[in-house]
Amino acid sequence: MAPTQAQQKAARAKVLAGGKPAKARTQRYLKSIEPQLREGAKSTLLLKGIKCSQAMGNLLKDMRAMQAPNAKLMSKKNQIVAFDDIEGQQSLEFLTTKNDCALFALASTNKKRPNNLVLGRTFDHQILDMVELGILRYKSIQNYGGSVPKKRIGSKPLMLFLGDLWQQDSNCKKMQNLLIDFYRGDVVQKLVVSGIDHLLVFVASQPQQGDNANPNINNDPKLIIYQHTFFCKLKKNPDDPTSKVPIPFLVPCGPDMTMQIRRTQFAEQDLWNLSLKQPQGLKKKKKKNKTTNLFGEVVGRLHIEHQDVTKMGGRKSKALRRAEQTAKEEENEALEAELGREREEMQDEFKQTYGFNKE
């Protein structure tokens, strides 16, 4: 269990003052919650509100099964009201910080808002986004019986968003980002086919008149989101038995639900931009004029000014230095020999003129 909030504040104050926390457990905890260059999967805290029905409790259990092992379900009920209550939001921030969870889901039921589900996430131990959903229809995993295989721990989901509202409506765009953050699991670079064992389909639409499946939303203009979950069975291709590429067959497995957006509390633009900021270690420097060819070789292109090769002083090897020294010696010897011949000619000319040699 993590240290209490008072112990964390005291430990942080001591660290800022130049000291170290007294307990090794506190030191390990503070080191574990430090920001990392590459974070793992976000954990989800599943909570029950002041009143929670059996159906909403089953919904939290199904969400834990879908997000395992990165989900923690609290069994006790909490006196927390997420919207319009500062103390409730502070309680959520405290519980998410204490349990080291960046995501949370709060299920509750009352007369004014029956089957209520609040999804949210935090940034820097503060609430970033919150969406209040009304569960109009819910079909649990248990309703499909035990014939459908369960989701494997650590597998990645395929997520499909149908409807133009996901791109047109601003609330839909933010809701889509929140749902992806909830169900994507571990952040990986590569993925095998067997690691995809379930599919999540989200359909966004406006309520229409005469909807027999949901008669309670005929006169309510709020957005409706349909969620359907399918299990992917990989089988051999019947059309090509020799092929090694499997064909996925979809089997409904739940949980399936119809959600209605009741209230939203999204982050301000400044806080949202701050949450998207990446550390310097993750930003890759752009390599200019470098490409990789078909064989994996790096090919570069240099852009330089015109150079005068005749004025460039290159590096001379030992053999070139010896050759240059030999050439200079031969040139000096030839020069001395020529000077000697000129001197002898002058002596001969002087002797013929005056009859004796010049000393």
pLDDT, tens only, 108-140: 999 999 999 999 999 988 899 999 999 999 999
pLDDT, tens only, 241-256: 888 888 888 888 888 9
Among candidate residues 204, 152, 142, 208, the one with its CA nearest the CA of residue 178: 204
Q: Report the pLDDT value the prediction gives residue 119, as an integer from 0 to 100.
A: 95
pLDDT band, residue 16 (cuts 50/70/90): low
The whole-number average pLDDT for the span 65-72 is 88
Whole-Å CA distances, 232 to 152, 155, 315: 11, 12, 66
Token reading at 178: 């929140």
Token reading at 304: 């330089």
Q: Report the pLDDT value the prediction gives residue 201, as an integer from 0 to 100.
A: 94
Q: Which residue has the higher pLDDT, 200 or 354?
A: 200
The whole-number average pLDDT for the span 331-358 is 81
CATH topology of domain 40-207+221-267: Rossmann fold (3.40.50)
Q: Report the pLDDT value the prediction gives residue 31, as an integer from 0 to 100.
A: 73
CA dist 272 and 252 (Å) reads 36
CA dist 127 and 110 (Å) reads 24
pLDDT for residue 214 is more than 70: no
pLDDT for residue 221 is more than 70: no
Among candidate residues 150, 165, 243, the one with its CA nearest the CA of residue 206: 165
pTM, rounded to two decimals = 0.69
Strands 298-300 and 256-265: unpaired
pLDDT for residue 212 is more than 60: no
pLDDT for residue 304 is more than 90: no
Helix (H, G, I), strand (E, B) or coil at 308: coil
CA dist 153 and 158 (Å) reads 15
Q: Report the pLDDT value the prediction gives residue 204, as an integer from 0 to 100.
A: 92
pLDDT for residue 81 is more than 60: yes
pLDDT for residue 101 is more than 80: yes
The whole-number average pLDDT for the span 217-225 is 65
Whole-Å CA distances, 60 to 13, 141, 152, 166, 198: 37, 12, 18, 25, 18
Contact present, 260 and 217 (Cβ < 8 Å): yes
Name residues whose C-beta falls within 8 Å of residue 230's C-beta, 6 or more positions apart in sequence: 198, 199, 201, 250, 251, 252, 253
Q: Report the pLDDT value the prediction gives residue 308, as an integer from 0 to 100.
A: 80
pLDDT for residue 209 is more than 70: no
Token reading at 27: 């030191």
pLDDT band, residue 219 (cuts 50/70/90): very low
Q: Report the pLDDT value the prediction gives residue 276, as an integer from 0 to 100.
A: 85
**Cα three-residue angle 168-173-175, rounded to 5 degrees:** 135
Whole-Å CA distances, 178 to 16, 90, 104, 238: 34, 21, 11, 38
Q: Which residue has the higher pLDDT, 14 or 191?
A: 191
Q: Report the pLDDT value the prediction gives residue 263, as an integer from 0 to 100.
A: 92
Q: What is the residue-averaged pLDDT of the chain? A: 82
pLDDT for residue 216 is more than 50: no
The whole-number average pLDDT for the span 208-235 is 69
pLDDT band, residue 47 (cuts 50/70/90): very high
Contact present, 79 and 70 (Cβ < 8 Å): no
